[in-house]
Amino acid sequence: MEKVLEVNDLHISFDTYGGEVKAVRGVTFDLKKGETLAIVGESGSGKSVTTRALARLIPSPPGRIKQGEILFDGKDLAKLKEKEMQQIRGKDISTIFQDPMTSLNPTMKIGNQIMEGLIKHQKMSKAQAKSRAIELLELVGLPNPVERINQYPHQFSGGQRQRIVIAIALACNPKILIADEPTTALDVTIQAQILELMKDIQKKTESSILFITHDLGVVANVADRVAVMYAGKIVEIGTVDEIFYNPKHPYTWGLLGSMPTLDNKEDNLIAIPGSPPDMLKPPKGDAFAPRNEYALEIDKEMEPPMFKVSDTHYAATWLLHEYAPDIEPPEAVKRRMKGFAQTGAGNSKEGERP
């Protein structure tokens, strides 16, 4: 499959009074045309910083891209001037964030907010942009778009506002859509509708989606591939099936073990002990070692490289080294893996994945 984005060894830091917060420490991945890549991991693992950097939305100062490449359309976005980036942001790369209110301008009619990008990037006339805005609002399922186009954001519900944000994000048929917890602030039924909508639109437009979420259940339903982040690094990446049925990193085991499933109610949840490291002083060796009951001696000394499990599956754990002891996931996680295999982790996409 054709790659639309390639991120190589990306490092991002924030200069604070306390020192340098090393938020992203060598992230490498690519995004293929038409796919959805989910990024999961605990709070503070660097999901938002990584993806915001792709649209160059890291406030600077205090933030800065220290090192690495973000290759898109023959350019390295990490080094692009803000002026050039403005041609790409909102046109080729669009973003949807958790709280729609922060993405909308409260003093501007929603129609005008959708038309802005169309006039700027697509060089449409006002009349053309208006009819396209109405089409887009229909596409995202907002009732009575002809009348409502003249209303302000506060006149809509949270779910409706998120639909408007999606309409704005989609206005210029972006090649990449970055959705950072787009449904977390919404109630469950609306969440499901919005996710369904994103999947539908993706089919029509062949855009690639980077989807950030805390919710592994959502991942199973919407993603093709999953990247697991811990302490500013991707520690495991693979297809949904590989991550759910054959996870290799003890941190991924921890995430799966702490995920509620239908037959495995809360009482069986296993929380990951301890908390993530302080990114002002990331530890030597494997950052997960202090919380990892399967840690080896070498984990305290040396960071594990990405070991290859399959052409699409990689994990950064010394347990995959040929001389490492043979350690299986804990029983509770294995039961869960079996459960996923029986019910189908990504059942709504069965047969579509390569």
**Interface residues with ligand ATP (CB under 6 A)?**
14, 16, 21, 23, 41, 43-49, 59, 62-63, 279
* Residue (21 or 78) nearer to ligand ATP, CB: 21
Closest CB 235 distance from ligand ATP, rounded Å: 13
Structure token digits, residue 351 = 């047969």
Closest CB 201 distance from ligand ATP, rounded Å: 24
Among 13, 36, 45, 48, binds Mg ion (CB under 5 A): 48
- Binding-site string for Mg ion from residue 202 to residue 231, where x marks contact by CB under 5 A and - marks none: ------------------------------
CA distance 287 to 291: 9
Binding-site partner at residue 182 among ligand ATP, Mg ion, none, CB < 5 to 8 Å by type: none
Binding-site partner at residue 159 among ligand ATP, Mg ion, none, CB < 5 to 8 Å by type: none
Largest CA-CA distance found in the chain, in angstroms, rounded: 68
* Residue (51 or 160) nearer to Mg ion, CB: 51
* Residue (16 or 105) nearer to ligand ATP, CB: 16
Binding-site partner at residue 94 among Mg ion, ligand ATP, none, CB < 5 to 8 Å by type: none
Site for Mg ion in 128-187 (CB under 5 A): none
Binding-site partner at residue 62 among Mg ion, ligand ATP, none, CB < 5 to 8 Å by type: ligand ATP
Task: Say how many residues touch Mg ion, by CB under 5 A.
Answer: 1
| Bridge partners (DSSP) listed for residue 41 | none
Closest CB 100 distance from Mg ion, rounded Å: 15
Closest CB 231 distance from ligand ATP, rounded Å: 9
Stretch touching Mg ion by CB under 5 A, among 41-49, 52-60, 182-190, 196-204: 41-49
* Residue (40 or 110) nearer to ligand ATP, CB: 40
Asked if residue 50 binds Mg ion (CB under 5 A), the reply is no
Residue ranges that bind Mg ion, judged by CB under 5 A: 48
